[in-house]
Amino acid sequence: MHQSHASVSDAILVEQARAGAARAFEELVRRHFRAAYAAALALLGNQMDAEDVCHDGFLKALERLEECRNPDKFGAWVVQIVRNRARNYREYRAVRSTVPLESTAAASPEDSARDLERSELRHLLEAALGKLSEVQREVVLLHDLEGWKHREIARSLGISEVAARQHLFVARRQLRESLGPQIVKEYLS
């Protein structure tokens, strides 16, 4: 269904979405959800909140699509929107003292052993990421989860490329220390 848009540039998809083409916007969501999720997860620390904020962020981006001055950079633009909404949500959450929601993956009775293992691994990763600074989390997730280049990360976060490289180096080292060599060797390398 969405493969017909696979070779279309972001700029054209944005133009079509501005005209009300749902398929074009859906393709934009598919392309950039993971980067937006990485930014939200770095700020919020758990899957459910990150997904909710991404959901709202993409809807807000659609409403404000005319403000996207460089449609070829839609990805960076929507990540910034999601990042801002994640910060607002974090402040709101801190005020309301909301208990983080449990992952639905672990709650399902039909979970296979592999799913449970993955769920446990996810919790371990989230806990280890929680020990990093905000910028370290975002750098390592955008780089290692989404595959952004240092230049893209630096531009998105408003830091130098050298700083991005340093944050990545430190973040990886701390994650390996937090998780332990066995988990890293078995699951994460």
Partner 1 sequence: MSEDRIDFSALDPTRDEARFERLVSAIVHDAEPEFTRRRQPSSAVAQVGQWWWPLLAAAAVVIMVSLGFLWRLGDTPGASASVVVESGIEESLGVPTQVASWIRSDQLPSTSDFLETIEVSQ
Q: By CB under 8 A, name the binding residues for partner 1.
A: 17-22, 25-26, 29-30, 33-34, 37, 41, 47, 50-51, 54-55, 58-59, 62-63, 66, 105, 118, 121-122, 125-126, 140-141, 143-145, 169, 172-173, 175-176, 184, 187-189
Tokens of 129: 């990421």
Nearest CA to 78 among 93, 63, 61? 61
Closer to partner 1 by CB, 87 or 118: give it: 118
Closer to partner 1 by CB, 22 or 162: give it: 22
Closer to partner 1 by CB, 1 or 95: give it: 1
CB of 172 to partner 1, least distance (A): 5
Q: End-to-end alpha-carbon separation of the chain, Å?
A: 34
CB of 95 to partner 1, least distance (A): 25
**C-beta separation of 86 from 50 below 8 A:** yes
Tokens of 147: 């595959």
**C-beta separation of 174 from 132 below 8 A:** yes
Query: What is the C-alpha to C-alpha distance for residues 35 and 20, in angstroms, rounded to an integer?
Result: 24
CB of 97 to partner 1, least distance (A): 25
CB of 125 to partner 1, least distance (A): 6
Closer to partner 1 by CB, 8 or 95: give it: 8
Nearest CA to 31 among 58, 68, 53, 69? 58
